[in-house]
Structure 1
């Protein structure tokens, strides 16, 4: 198996120059220079030895690396801030929904609900007001809670 791999690698390496195309340079009667793969008939041409160098990957400069790292750091900070804001909003929404569900349960289960008004006085809700609060709680839960 090793011999087969070695023979294949050797043949591939030796065949590369044989596969290289020849390029001919010649000038026509009008003085125009041409480059072709075959020599022109009846014209004097020069055979060119073409060697193509492998393309060098240019390394990015230190400034470009620092700038790219700076942009990446800014983007990460922005992403982290957005994630934190979304998490905070989700937590607040969950707390809001939980409070609304608890209020709805209290309003449905207790026909006599006591509330404290703005002046600090405690009063009992009337049936119409209790039904209105139940409808509002159901509406809020339907709009904001899953």
Structure 2
């Protein structure tokens, strides 16, 4: 009875580990331009599922050479679509970074505002200048962020 429970436990553990190994893998770039990887996509960034792009590490898991050669034949339409998706992703990332930067600047302007000039002297912004800059940032956020 004891060996039956042990064998059952071992089977369950092996099944659970195989399921964990079959998880998806995501890649995303944060607002600072750093690339991250994870098994779950983040809520605040657009992530790309890269599970299909990974190659087996073990030669026993690798596809036969004939299958690999047939995959390497180029399909111009697929290559074009892939390049388009990459361009769109980069454009979306640029827009997201610009949107986040404009929102940060607007948050800074909502408090008391002072800048440091080239000589290191603090220069205060008048309420009128602050309001004009805030309106300009609001328009920028509407244009970039939608």
**TM-score interval, normalised by the smaller of the two chains:** 0.3 to 0.5
Rg (Cα) greater in structure: 1
TM-score where L is the length of structure 2: 0.45
Structure having greater relative contact order (Cα 8 Å, sep ≥ 6): 2
TM-score where L is the length of structure 1: 0.45
